[in-house]
Structure 1
Amino acid sequence: MGFWVFTLTWVGLLLLLCPVAVLAEKLDENDPVVTTTYGRLRGIKKELNNEILGPVIQFLGVPYATPPTGERRFQPPEMPASWSDIHNATHFAPVCPQSIVEGRLPDVMLPVWFTNSIDVVSTYVQDQSEDCLYLNIYVPTEDGDQEVRVSILTEYILRLIRKYG
């Protein structure tokens, strides 16, 4: 189980750092909607409690693969289906199943620097599901009009997942 948590953690980090679709539009801060190759996403602007970092636009729970449920369970991920409506990407999607003991994650599975915040982290892993192949994308914002370009190489990531499991 620890191997899968480690693997999924690194895959998640890789997905966040890699350049699902190309998003390139002028973002309306009040109603940030972008177009991807799969459909349109509505995000939400979030102020950060930080003097250095400015606000970000969050696109939460963005599907990057077809849910691995039913007959797809334990199969390689498949590209997600496109959608015609605007997908509400303003809430976190369920996380992949985690081993939680008495409401806490086992400290042995996490790096030492991470265990200081374990109580905070454990609140985010309460909503678990095997349908958990989603991204949380954070786009920095600045004052004035700007063009935002975020690219995530879904096909490349899916190939890595298929190859290395």
Structure 2
Amino acid sequence: MFFDLTEEQRLVRDTARDFATREVAPKAAELDKTGRWPSEIVSKMAELGFMGMAVPEAHGGAGLDSVSYALVMEEVSAACASCGVIMSVNNSLFCDPVLKFGSDAQKKEILAPCASGQKLGCFGLTEPMSGSDAQTMMTQAEKVDGGWVINGSKNWITNGPHADFIIVFAVTDRS
């Protein structure tokens, strides 16, 4: 399918390309080699609105369309795949489920801080023995007075060590 980009989409793409070229690409090899968390890049992505692209403006995000989101992802990921994934996880795997399934109180508490980069979200699915096969996951959650108790382990959780909020997948009833 072919379509023309809108003026806003071109501006978003060009902004992302300039940022990726000047700020991200020069540090990509060092980040890959050392595994260092790119806090300065994450902060700049937040300043540009890239950490909450699909979050509606009413919830503190940029309110961009899917094409603009894809354009930013292309530009940043081309410069440094790790930085693109950090941004993608916060946007798609964390903010999007909160937006779609969270309570009004959760949306109010979580979305604006994550979209602004004050806070960071992640997504905990992968397990040591089952990978990302949710059907065979072993982590369990049990409802108790005042909340839930979660028992199990997760691994390879992008943003995990730096996240303020985590969506954790767990089994509540095997039947």
Using the size of structure 2 for normalisation, the TM-score is 0.27
Structure with greater helix percent:
2
> Could you say which structure has the greater relative contact order, defined with CA pairs below 8 angstroms and 6 or more residues apart?
1
Structure with greater strand percent:
1
